[in-house]
Chain A
């Protein structure tokens, strides 16, 4: 028997049916056609499926969809306000912090969770916070720079790049 679930998704009330064994990731991707959240491993090891659940960063492959009844879920699709990118998204573009782009949605969600908690992280804090988000393309250098850059922008300062000669 499928279960009927209602939840908030990026500020919008949504409903779907799911198997009791179905994950939030599959509900997002298959039932709700929100394919911005990616599946890299299905075991919580790669972070590509990172989403916010009631203000907690989770791997959506490790959350059952039935646990999300009345939950507040936020995904990469909810980061931008209309056509205005979130400063993290803009910083990722400006710093060339993506190559293939498959880990990018999860990293953006994870990075936002960090900056919401800690608006002025050190490089080391950024590295440990995103240690659960694997990227195989970039070596993380430009991702870490982009997150520090976005933090600076969000604090109301100029972009790191604009400060450089």
Chain B
């Protein structure tokens, strides 16, 4: 077994923390190891109905008629809905604050309107007294289709004569606007410097084409929810999601309801990875509950999860880099095409922005295309858009290193972005730790360990923005001086622990005297969803500010009790101290006398957190390739990442290890497979193979800590960047193990075997 992570870097300024950086048991731990924790499918109300969704068997078809009469007549069926039951969303209501999602598209995604655009597209939903009746009723729904030609292939979808998903879709981002509709929803251009001049000054130019397949977030918990609607329209939704406020806002807009009519009660979330940042079942459950007058529970099966939610985009990427003989990168250029699925909105723009962000390249020109195809609408997946673009870029960097016979880490160090580097997408980096990750990787024993036959070592780096945003936290101080922290963000991987630790550290009280709640939408102020690696940073900032407000209040109350000025009181390790008179009152002392100083003690902080620090990582991967079968075994893996400051190092390591495993799955196994009718061939975990325990080695982690000065404890987001480097790291390792480079993911045994054989034939 490998050793525990080493921490490298500086401590946050100020007093040495006593709780931050330790590894206490998470507050929700006991509930999660005893089966008590309630996830999306675990709530039930007396008299509730079971909801089920009728889905399209066709990849592309016009709906001519939906006959629900037979289903309606089945005893036990209490409600049936179709798109007719959804309000029509006008153009001016399509966007909130000019931001995606487009609610007309979202509405047509949750229940197809006029046309189905992928196999599994929801057409109707039923509520019945039990599961059996609901499923019987599904068989009685009769839909008449006019099947249309479909297109699931990215290149075919971009052809001028391709079947059109949306007859009025005119490509955005081209002037003058094209006259004819197409499947290209938008074109994005990112220009930095002068690429032509840049390439003119290059001694070496490397150019390649890459493809990646759509992969699913593959959270183990299928989407699930329950809705109840009172006679006055007051609506309660229990669900697992990445944001209860997101569910409220989306349902309100889709169902044309005021926010105040909807309360969303967050349940534990069984994995999301970006895939639960939108709604599928919730609006249907509300409509069914409204129509039937009874609570309605809904849960997807795994096949529905694969066919109708997620995945992230499959891509085609053509990239070119130019460098001088000494390895200095001078230019990068390329075209990135991302599948959006059935409706516009792939993360291609983020792919363009992140591809070369770790490097200081003066001239970059990237063009991105967002392309609709007859596949499920793509959803966010951990660092959306970045892993595919980075895969292509990091392969080119590795090829350049091979060509120049340079060490791949040394080549990256030569070109590494630093504080002050202006990125191709416009931002100038501050307080970044990319170079430190490279140095730590180079010094790690893994990097110089010997390799055996058929083994190879790959290196790759990655960048992710990380975000802040609107965030809330409330702290209530109980009569005994214990604290309850309430936030509005689902705990997807241990964030309750981080919130409790930051509150306890700030207040100066023990960790186990802090309890953390995730509030429902009526119990806590608005907060953006759990995503963008923002919670420990942004919500942690709100928690810290609320704790600081509690301290100020405590000092004021102690001053009242002592009849002195608040300015004379100091707060030291959980106590109000009057230094001059050597007097001291603990948090518990003050809380116990709260009535004498103004009543109950509480504070809240509602902020729009700014100053998120970008994340950089460098990964080292060793593989062994079986030349007989093409099977790639990951032998050893080390992930190095600048995390700013690890609040709870175990959960930071966990984010890194989990991201690596997902990236390895993306690189080696995972892909959506379709038949000639556009129907998914592998909508289950047997055939869509995510990494299992026996596929992986221990995943070593090195936490580099270059603190973010904009956060009270130095935090940078950590959740997303670890999924970016593995695609390139594994590909580079395979290339070095076999002498053959693969440009298409996944590098499954047949494709690796074929590439090895092809190379051998060429050598003969």
Contacts and interface: CB of A to CB of B under 8 A. Distances in A.
Interface string B15-52: 00000000101101110111111110110100000000
A46 B220 contact: yes
Interface string A120-160: 00011011101111111111111111001000000000000
B693 interface: yes
A46 B305 CA distance: 14
Interface stretch (B173-181, B313-321, B559-567, B682-690): B682-690
A131 B695 CA distance: 8
A83 to B, nearest CB: 9
Nearest to A86: B33
Give the one of B30, B36, B131, B692 with max A CB within 10 A. Answer: B692
B690 A134 contact: yes
Nearest to A108: B33
Interface in A86-109: 89, 92-96, 98-105, 108
A85 B33 CA distance: 9
B536 to A, nearest CB: 13
B685 A77 contact: no
Given A131-B693, A140-B693, A100 B269 contact: yes
Contact of B492 (A89, A99, A142): A99
Given A36-B36, A138-B658, A127 B686 contact: no
B531 to A, nearest CB: 14
Interface residue tally on A, bucketed by range = 35 or more
Contact of A137 (B1, B28, B658): B658
B693 A144 contact: yes
Contacts of A96: 23, 26, 494, 648, 650-651, 653-654
B693 A143 contact: yes
Nearest to A123: B1
B35 A145 contact: no
Contact of A46 (B132, B685, B695): B685
A72 interface: no
Contacts of A95: 650
A85 B32 CA distance: 12
Interface string B660-702: 1110000000000000000000001110001111111011000
B684 A77 contact: no
A101 B34 contact: no
A103 B658 CA distance: 14
B685 A100 contact: no
A144 to B, nearest CB: 7
Contacts of A92: 29, 33
Contacts of A48: 220
B692 A134 contact: yes
Nearest to B42: A35
A12 interface: no
A119 interface: no
B462 interface: no
The A interface is mostly helix, strand or loop, or mixed, namely loop
Given A134-B220, A136-B219, A139-B660, A43 B492 contact: no
Given A37-B35, A40-B220, A140 B270 contact: no
B148 to A, nearest CB: 31
Contact of A93 (B29, B222, B270, B271): B29
Contacts, number: 194
Interface in B208-224: 217-222
A76 B30 CA distance: 12
A14 interface: no
A124 B28 CA distance: 30
B519 to A, nearest CB: 19
A7 B743 CA distance: 55
Contacts of A75: 35
A45 B657 contact: no
Nearest to B695: A131
Contacts of B657: 138-142
A139 B34 contact: no
Contact of B302 (A34, A42, A79): A42
A36 B483 CA distance: 29
Given A132-B692, A137-B658, A93 B33 contact: yes
Given A76-B35, A140-B693, A101 B25 contact: no
A134 B692 CA distance: 6
B282 interface: no
B25 A93 contact: yes
Contact of A126 (B44, B273, B693): B693
B672 to A, nearest CB: 17
Nearest to A132: B692
A39 B297 CA distance: 15
A77 B494 contact: no
Contacts of B271: 99-100, 102, 136-137
Contact of A145 (B1, B23, B26, B662): B1
B696 A140 contact: yes
Contacts of A42: 301-302
Given A45-B686, A93-B29, A136 B693 contact: no
A144 B698 contact: yes
Contacts of B29: 92-93, 98
B23 A103 contact: no
A100 B493 contact: yes
B268 interface: yes
Given A33-B44, A93-B25, A164-B4, A142 B654 contact: yes
Contact of A136 (B42, B299, B658, B686): B658
B39 A19 contact: no
A45 B676 CA distance: 26
Given A134-B685, A135-B220, A139-B699, A98 B693 contact: no
Contacts of B219: 100, 102, 136
A113 to B, nearest CB: 15
Interface string A2-21: 00000000000000000101
B35 A128 contact: no
Given A36-B35, A101-B268, A131-B692, A94 B25 contact: yes
A154 to B, nearest CB: 16
Interface string B638-658: 000000000010110111011
A18 to B, nearest CB: 11
A9 to B, nearest CB: 13
Nearest to B218: A136
A122 to B, nearest CB: 11
B654 A137 contact: yes
Contacts of B302: 40-43, 45-46
Contacts of B660: 139
Given A39-B222, A138-B654, A142-B650, A104 B694 contact: no
Contacts of A131: 692-695
Contacts of B685: 40-41, 43, 45-46, 134
Q: Which 8 residue pairs are nearest across A and B when measured between Cβ atoms? A: A36-B35, A102-B270, A139-B661, A101-B32, A96-B650, A139-B657, A45-B685, A99-B493
Interface of B: 1, 4, 23, 25-26, 28-30, 32-39, 41-42, 44, 131-132, 217-222, 268-273, 299, 301-302, 492-494, 648, 650-651, 653-655, 657-662, 684-686, 690-696, 698-699
15 contacts: A35-B39, A38-B270, A39-B222, A41-B301, A45-B302, A93-B33, A96-B653, A102-B271, A123-B698, A131-B695, A135-B220, A140-B693, A142-B650, A144-B698, A145-B698
Given A92-B33, A140-B696, 4 more contacts: A35-B42, A104-B33, A123-B1, A139-B699
